[in-house]
Amino acid sequence: MTLTITPLPHIPLIQPGDDLVEILLNSVTAAHVTIDDSDILVLAQKIVSKAENRMVNLAKIKPSEKAREVATQAEKDPRLVELIIRESKELVRVRPGTIIAEHKLGFICANAGIDHSNVQGTGGNPDDWVLLLPENPDRSALEIRRKIKLATGHRVGVMIIDSHGRPWREGAVGTTIGLSGIPGIVDRRGWKDLFGYQLRVTTIAAADELAGAASLVMGEAAERIPAVHVRGFPYPLAEGSIREIMRPKDKDMFR
């Protein structure tokens, strides 16, 4: 098996309303690769959020009393904390410099996924612009996949990824937040190992494994590679949803 991850070059800084599919297909051509059935496009969350106009100017945010209280504990801008609260189901942990939240979509992540890096709005203080996650990343991935099928005639998978931290380990890794046309989880229960032992509990977070690999190519700073083309994914493509990956709260042993 060979897994090939090709960076897609020359993607401009995305603006609200940009046609991501047209931009991506032009970049595929520039990378001298083709779109075939079972290929996968992995996109950084930022370009999807920007195209969907999820940028917010903190100057327009009025913090609530709760936001001011949490901001004091976290030593953060009360306007940012107000946005975190609006985007969250629950604040899981608050420490100086850190807010871990359960996003409305179910992700447990820092600052409810709100980001400032590589975000530039128009007007006002540049430091006041932040970016929210897409409203529905699965739906975004499905729409991009549908348009690629119309434009190329090929059935592909689409993933949207972000960088999340993890309990018990330092550092952030690429994590799937939306997908369409690929499995989130691959169930290997019932398969046999090299010695004939039948696997009983093994399920593989295949989408997250690919997200981590793709993020190595995409980078986190000034690399300007917000999308990659993948060929050789070792599992059959299938309809999938981020719901496969999200662990229900009643099965969460760590909160």
pLDDT of residue 193: 62
Over pLDDT 70: what percentage of the chain? 93
Residue pLDDT, tens place only, 200-233:
656 888 999 999 999 999 987 556 899 999 999 9
Of all residues in the chain, what percent carry a pLDDT higher than 90?
A: 73
pLDDT at res. 189? 58
- On the question of pLDDT at 120 being above 80, the answer is no
Cα–Cα distance for residue pair 251/248, rounded to 1 Å: 5
What is the Cβ-side half-sphere exposure of residue 160, based on CA atoms within 13 angstroms? 26
Of the candidates 139, 123, 152, the one whose C-alpha atom is nearest the C-alpha of residue 34 is 152
CA 1 to chain centre: 26
pTM over 0.85: yes
Candidates 158, 219, 165, 210; CA nearest to 185 is 210
Q: Are 213 and 3 in contact (CB under 8 A)?
A: yes
pLDDT computed for residue 188 by the predictor: 63
* 166's tokens: 């993890």
Does residue 192 surpass a pLDDT of 70? no
Q: Which domains does the chain possess?
A: 4-47+134-245 (3.30.1330.100), 55-131 (3.90.1660.10)
In order of 78, 121, 220, the CA distances from 237 in angstroms are 44, 37, 27
Put residue 207 in one of left, alpha, beta given phi > 0 → left and psi -120 to 50 → alpha. alpha
Q: What is the DSSP letter of 91?
A: E
Residue 82 has pLDDT above 80, yes or no: yes
User: Higher pLDDT residue, 124 or 63?
Assistant: 63
Per-residue model confidence as pLDDT tens digits over 93-118: 999 999 999 999 999 999 999 988 77
What is the pLDDT at residue 191?
58
